Amino acid sequence: NAGVMQNPRHLVRRRGQEARLRCSPMKGHSHVYWYRQLPEEGLKFMVYLQKENIIDESGMPKERFSAEFPKEGPSILRIQQVVRGDSAAYFCASSPGGEDGETQYFGPGTRLLVL
C-alpha cells in the first residue's frame, strides 16, 4: 500500500509565475490536508478537503492560493503569481476518516523555491 505521494519534490519558480503542487492520498483515504512549513518552524495548517469539497480553508491566504480535490485525480495546491515569501516546504497529509479520522499520514513534501 503506497503512502502519500507528492510531486514534484522540488519546484523552482520565478516571481510572478504559477506553482502547482500535487498530492495523491493513500489508497482508501478521502480526506486531504495541506500544510506549509517555514525553516525552523512547525507545520501551519492551510486547508482541509474531502472529495470535491473544501471543508476548512481557514489557514489559506486570501489571495493567490487555491486548492482542489477532484472526484478523480490528485489534490492540487495552486499558488498564482508567486512571491519570494512563498518559498517553503508544502506538505500534504491524508486520513481515512471514520474511527481513525484524526490520524494523518504525511507525504514527503514539495520544496518550493521562488527566485
Partner 1 sequence: AQSVTQPDIHITVSEGASLELRCNYSYGATPYLFWYVQSPGQGLQLLLKYFSGDTLVQGIKGFEAEFKRSQSSFNLRKPSVHWSDAAEYFCAVEGGSYIPTFGRGTSLIVHP
Q: Are strands 65-68 and 53-56 parallel, antiparallel or unpaired?
A: unpaired
Nearer CB in complex with partner 1: 69/91: 91
Mark 35-54 with x for binding to partner 1 (rule: CB under 8 A) and - for no binding: -----xxxxxx--x------
Residue among 69, 79, 88, 80 at smallest CA distance from 29: 69
Q: Does 23 help bind partner 1 (rule: CB under 8 A)?
A: no
The C-alpha cell that represents 36 in the structure block: 506549509
CA 22 centroid distance within chain: 7
90 binds partner 1 (CB under 8 A): no
**Contacts with partner 1, residue ranges (CB under 8 A):** 4, 6, 31, 33, 40-45, 48, 55-56, 91, 93, 95, 101-109, 111
